[in-house]
Amino acid sequence: MTKPNQNYPTDLNDTEWAVIEQEMPKAKSTGRPRQYAWREILNAIFYILKNGCGWRALPHDLPPWPSVYGYFRLFQRNGLWEKLNEVIREQVRQKANKAAQASLMILDSQSVKSAEGGEKTRV
């Protein structure tokens, strides 16, 4: 169930969109309706993130950069990115036959590189 005519490699396919769509904010019952669909906005955000270009360098077939940037910042403020990360991580873990939540986390500091090849260094 994938989208056969993706304009860009970063565009969401139907399977990915089905997961993300459930977490997107619902339409308001009052006020002006949104001009762009959530999927279009996310495709534009993912294009920016993958290609590392500036907001003003969005291709013209995507929504205008001020709209895309505005929603990107809104999603940062309201915690949508963290929520999507949590939902997707849990699904990946369950697909790998693991518990949805990890029971242990290991943090490691970066090792110091030695130009001498294995000698002890002080930090």
Domain-embedded: residue 77: yes
Q: Give dist(CA 97, CA 91) in Å, integer.
A: 10
Does 47 map to a domain?
Answer: no
Which pTM was predicted?
Answer: 0.76
Residue 97 lies in a domain: yes
Structural domain range at position 58: 52-101
Of 36, 34, 46, 38, residue with least CA distance to 8 = 46
CB-neighbour burial class of residue 101 (10 A; exposed 0-12, middle 13-18, buried 19+): exposed
123 in a domain, yes or no? no
Q: Judge whether 56 lies within some domain.
A: yes
Residue 66 counted as domain residue? yes
Q: Is the pLDDT of residue 6 over 80?
A: no
User: pLDDT digit string (tens) for 30-89?
Assistant: 888 889 999 999 999 999 999 999 999 999 999 999 999 999 999 999 999 999 999 999
Q: 106 in a domain, yes or no? A: no
Count the domains in the chain.
Answer: 1
> Could you give the percent of the chain with pLDDT greater than 70?
84
85 inside domain? yes
